[in-house]
Structure 1
Amino acid sequence: MIIPITGNVNYPITLDPTVWIFDDRKILLEEAFSKRAETTVKEDEVEKASKRWDRAVFQSSKPPVNPNISRKEGEKILTNSYVMPIRDFIDNAEWDANAEKAVLVTSSDEITISLDLLRKCLLLFAIDGKIIKEDGPVYIFYPDGSNMDNPIKGLQKIIIK
């Protein structure tokens, strides 16, 4: 259920999609391919950064406390399908300047795509609030949704070359 990002990167990392259900970066699948979702994510990121700054500056003596999730919010989270942008993970791995492409190793094939395309992809990690066991742990969608009916399934490893 983990996906290593290896190859021509400064920091090889391992993705664990099973813990993303409560991650604030997740996007509802229904909203993932609309311009509105992209704008909302950027605004949310700015707002979250602002709150982190305020906590660090004004509450330096108190550790940050994660707010509790209400029962209603928890039920909503556990009934929806979500995607996660891969951008942050790829940026954290920091591919080398001479890297040219990404190889997606699946359970049945190897698919080569550009690094720019990979950086924009979305990873479907939960269907109806449950992890993807069959052909999982994630499905890869292109940023324009052109492969919605036929996503890349069974991802086992991402190799930057």
Structure 2
Amino acid sequence: MENIILISGSVNYTITLDPGVWIFDDRRIDLKTYFTSKQADANDLEEYTKAVSKHWDREIVEGAVFPPTLKTEKKFEKEKVLTGTFGIPLKPFLKNAEPFHDATHLVVKSSDGDIELPLDRAYDLVLGFSDNGKPLDSGGPIHVYFGDGSNQQDPIKNIKLFFVK
């Protein structure tokens, strides 16, 4: 249970975060390239629609049978998962918690001390959960990175709770 982190406080719904399952989440991002590549603020629904359309088109053209290239792609993705360094944006979890309209800040509670951020900046946070294919044991279960990558070399560690106020 020590790997479970809550988003609570001035929210309609308390959210339970379990970093152990994020490796299977399609929203995961590669932390080795995320802060260095130019980020486009894309619409999540638009990205999902494009991915589903591409898959549908592929099935129409090639059939539901997996061609050798698709098998190779899947093998590559499995290898990437086993050796990658990943994070996940905090934004969808924070949105699902539905902060109260008068909430203005997010407090990142850590055993190293608390950090208070304006709520609009908190939506840009990235939660690191994997380093070279392994869960974060040192300072984990997650590390918090600012969206601009300014603390990429020194993330916030030992997170215990996210508290909206």
Common fold, TM-score beyond 0.5? yes
Residue aligning to 1:27: 29
Deviation by residue 1:82-127 (Cα, 9 ceiling, x = unmatched): 1111110000001001111111111221111111111101111110
Q: Does the 8 Å CA contact 2:112/2:157 hold for their aligned counterparts?
A: no
Separation of aligned partners in 2, 1:22 and 1:15: 14
Please identify the structure whose Cα radius of gyration is greater: 2
Aligned residue identity for 2:96: N
Residue aligning to 1:124: 128
Separation of aligned partners in 2, 1:110 and 1:149: 19
Equivalences for residues 116-155 of structure 1 within 5 A: 116-155=120-159
Query: What is the deviation of 1:71?
Result: 3.0
Separation of aligned partners in 1, 2:76 and 2:46: 26
State the number of aligned residues: 147
Q: Does the 8 Å CA contact 1:140/1:153 hold for their aligned counterparts?
A: yes
TM-score (norm 2): 0.79
Match of 1:18 among 10, 17, 20: 20
- Structure 1: gaps spanning 5 or more residues: 56-66
Residue aligning to 1:48: 48
Q: Does the 8 Å CA contact 1:32/1:83 hold for their aligned counterparts?
A: no
Query: What is the deviation of 1:35?
Result: 5.3
TM-score (norm 1): 0.81
- Structure 2: gaps spanning 5 or more residues: 57-69
Q: Does the 8 Å CA contact 1:21/1:129 hold for their aligned counterparts?
A: no
Root-mean-square deviation over aligned CA pairs: 2.4
Residue aligning to 2:62: none
Q: Secondary structure at the match of 2:79?
A: helix
Q: Does the 8 Å CA contact 2:145/2:156 hold for their aligned counterparts?
A: yes
